[in-house]
């Protein structure tokens, strides 16, 4: 498979990762398994959208890899590129963006990943919620910033990615979904290539209007202001156990920290 490499754009480096002058409320994530259209919430989470678009415009998401899959929870990308060989290359990142936990982490939303214990540490990595993760992610680590929503049948493709078997590629890619690759292949020492990785060939702006899909009404994050454990330096908390009502969810929150 021929990969579209954008070394020229990336060579500009961190200077590209500044605030973009354009606003876009719809982008398309182009993957080897199909295209996923995303509506961005410019007006609700303006700094996060602007940050995300700076990486889109720099070419940082070309040949990006879905490096993490947690079935029933999230798939994650934005941090690593495949440039014809393993290990994966890290995406150059700019300044972290201020957290904007205004919207709820429901199924089909896209949100920013960040460092544990630091609410304002998101840079290039993002994840798509496979389930209603609001009870956990709306309060954990200051709340995770939802900045867009999958459109149409895009979740069919996301679910297809989430259903793939996962393999440890090392480092942060220790639960990477792979195509056409099995445990038998692993045991036989079959090399992992672009034929197996879930590659995002590019992310492009498809509608640069300031407001699109006004019919969408994403639920607000109503938990963040009701829970005292969600902000500050709490990196693994999924919220107060008394508020959630389930001790098991505390264990789930510990296992399901969204980290870069």
pLDDT in tens, 69-111: 999 999 999 999 999 999 999 999 999 999 999 999 999 999 9
Tell me the two tokens of residue 94.
């700019």
Tell me the two tokens of residue 66.
């879905």
Do the Cβ atoms of 123 and 129 come closer than 8 Å?
A: no
20-76: per-residue pLDDT in tens? 333 458 999 999 999 999 999 999 999 999 999 999 999 999 999 999 999 999 999
Do the Cβ atoms of 39 and 32 come closer than 8 Å?
A: no
pTM above 0.85, yes or no: no
Which of 10 and 187 is assigned the larger pLDDT? 187
Give dist(CA 27, CA 192) in Å, integer. 29
Tell me the two tokens of residue 228.
């005292």
Give dist(CA 20, CA 28) in Å, integer. 18
Side-chain-side CA neighbours of 237 within 13 Å: the count stands at 22
């Amino acid at each position: 498979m021929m990969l579209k490499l954008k070394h020229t754009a990336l060579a500009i480096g961190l200077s590209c990762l500044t605030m973009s002058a354009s606003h876009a409320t719809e982008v398309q994530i182009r993957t080897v398994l199909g295209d996923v259209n995303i509506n961005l919430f410019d007006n609700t989470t303006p700094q996060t959208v602007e940050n995300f678009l700076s990486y889109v415009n720099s070419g940082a998401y070309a040949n990006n890899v879905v490096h993490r899959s947690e079935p029933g929870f999230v798939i994650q990308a934005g941090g690593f590129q495949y440039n014809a060989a393993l290990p994966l290359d890290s995406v150059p990142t700019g300044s972290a963006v201020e957290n904007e936990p205004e919207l709820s982490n429901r199924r089909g939303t896209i949100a920013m990943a960040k460092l544990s214990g630091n609410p304002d540490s998101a840079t290039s990595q993002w994840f798509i919620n496979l389930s209603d993760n609001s009870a956990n992610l709306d309060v954990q680590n200051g709340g995770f910033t939802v900045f867009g929503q999958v459109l149409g049948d895009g979740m069919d493709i996301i679910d297809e990615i989430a259903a793939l078997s996962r393999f440890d590629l090392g480092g942060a890619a220790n639960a990477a979904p792979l195509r056409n690759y099995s445990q038998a292949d692993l045991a036989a020492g079959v090399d992992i290539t672009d034929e197996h990785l879930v590659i995002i060939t590019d992310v492009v702006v498809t509608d640069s209007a300031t407001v699109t899909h006004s019919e969408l009404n994403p639920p607000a994050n109503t938990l963040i202001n009701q829970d005292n454990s969600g902000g500050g330096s709490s990196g693994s908390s999924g919220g107060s156990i008394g508020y959630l009502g389930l001790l098991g969810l505390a264990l789930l929150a510990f296992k399901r920290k969204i980290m870069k």
